[in-house]
């Protein structure tokens, strides 16, 4: 990984951007992509896209990722100064106890810990995953007034503190790799396209908001940009750790290449083109069967306006929605190459319309 690209990814990963409050991360992304994109724009809700003009204005290719991450929102402060929180998106509260959480308060960041009653004195019989109202965040305040004086109030959001770590040159762990890594991939794809021979198609790299709470940003921006074709990058479950039944969840290995999905939102001609590009670029891909929903922004993009031929490219990930999400940088590199190769393959007459 190039040094400047890694610095960008690290900064992105360390900037809290829970769903609905993505502006800090989007500013980092926009600042970086402005250094090579022809134009960077955003809409009212913070969807941000970088434009790379091709030889012609049509067709257009959208490379999409989501910018938001899961987190917590303060919904009650007790008279003792403890915070009770709701989940923003699918935060894994089974791992919450004993973790640090950082909130964006009015006076700056406030760090707290999710209380964990000592093993010696808690009732451990039949211990189960706690309910959200069993959990509290302790910021070290004694009273509600003290918490408020530190700039906290109901409606503010926080995330687990855990930042990124390189376990090996190929394996990275951290919070919010779902899907900052996607924002990194689409930025890197247009950076490389910009360095090479100008493609025919004009490219939008869209970093969309609010995926984790319902694909809302993708709905708005896909309608607005209405590209000829869209490639979405998000993470999928690697099923190669103990306890995951491949008979139930399929077989996806970390480091064995991006996955292509079939069915649902995935347009057969777009998937076919991706498989051709993968073959000519010698990229190994894995496959996933989608019976109905992909559970990603692809579901919202392909039905925008009168339909956008779309396909999902997924990055295998272990331990999704935890603080130790793990990815393999070789898979990341292969998705960038697949996206770049796809854009370069698009000819002026390509519309991905099924012949009837």
**Cβ distance to Zn ion smaller for residue 200 or 294:** 294
| Of 26, 325, 334, 342, the residue nearest 163 (C-alpha) | 325
Give the Cα separation of 24 and 35 in Å (integer). 18
Catalytic residue among 22, 211, 288, 325: 211
**Residue 64 or 178 with smaller CB distance to Zn ion:** 178
Min CB(70)–Zn ion separation in Å? 9
Question: Catalytic residue at 69?
Answer: no
Do you find a cis peptide bond into 59, omega within 30 degrees of 0? yes
d(CA 129, CA 54): 51
Closest residue to Zn ion using C-beta atoms: 179
CA separation, residue 133 to residues 37, 103, 136, 137, 148 (Å):
46, 18, 7, 11, 21
Q: Which is nearer to Zn ion, 21 or 352 (CB)?
A: 21
Q: Which is nearer to Zn ion, 65 or 201 (CB)?
A: 65
Q: Where are the alpha helices (DSSP H) in 136-211?
A: 144-149, 177-195
Q: Which two tokens stand for residue 340?
A: 């770049």
Tell me the torsion sign for CA atoms 22, 23, 28, 31.
positive
Neighbouring CB atoms inside 10 A of 302's CB total 23
Strand partners, 160: 101
Comparing CB distances to Zn ion, the nearer of 234 and 288 is 234
Q: Which residues bind Zn ion (CB under 5 A)?
A: 178-179, 234
- Supply the residues annotated as catalytic: 211
């Amino acid at each position: 990984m190039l040094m400047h690209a890694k610095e960008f990814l690290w900064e992105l990963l360390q900037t809290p951007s829970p769903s609905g409050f993505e502006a800090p991360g989007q500013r980092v992304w926009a600042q970086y992509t402005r250094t090579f994109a022809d134009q960077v724009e955003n809409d009212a809700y913070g969807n941000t896209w970088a434009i790379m003009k091709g030889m012609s204005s049509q067709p257009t290719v959208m490379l999409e990722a989501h910018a938001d991450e899961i987190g917590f929102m303060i919904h009650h402060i007790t008279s003792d100064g403890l915070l009770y929180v709701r989940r923003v998106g699918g935060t894994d509260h089974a791992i919450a106890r004993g973790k640090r959480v950082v909130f964006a308060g009015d006076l700056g960041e406030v760090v707290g810990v999710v209380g964990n009653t000592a093993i010696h004195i808690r009732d451990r019989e039949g211990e189960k995953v706690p309910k959200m109202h069993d959990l509290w965040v302790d910021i070290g305040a004694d009273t509600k007034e003290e918490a408020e004086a530190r700039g906290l109030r109901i409606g503010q959001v926080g995330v687990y503190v855990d930042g990124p770590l390189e376990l090996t040159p190929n394996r990275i762990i951290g919070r919010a790799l779902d899907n900052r890594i996607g924002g990194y991939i689409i930025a890197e794809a247009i950076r490389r396209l910009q360095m090479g021979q100008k493609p025919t198609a004009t490219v939008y790299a869209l970093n969309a908001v609010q995926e984790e709470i319902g694909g809302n940003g993708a709905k708005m921006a896909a309608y607005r940009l209405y590209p000829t074709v869209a490639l979405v990058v998000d993470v999928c479950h690697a099923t190669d750790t103990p306890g995951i039944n491949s008979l139930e969840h399929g077989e996806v290995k970390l480091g064995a290449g991006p996955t292509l999905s079939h069915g649902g939102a995935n347009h057969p001609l777009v998937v076919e083109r991706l498989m051709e590009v993968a073959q000519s670029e010698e990229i190994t891909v894995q496959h996933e069967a989608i019976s109905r929903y992909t559970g990603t922004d692809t579901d919202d993009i392909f039905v925008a306006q009168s339909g956008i031929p779309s396909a999902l490219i997924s990055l295998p990930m272990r331990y999704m929605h935890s603080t130790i999400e793990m990815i393999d940088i070789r898979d990341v590199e292969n998705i960038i190459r697949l996206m770049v190769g796809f854009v370069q393959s698009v000819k002026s007459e390509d519309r991905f319309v099924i012949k009837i």
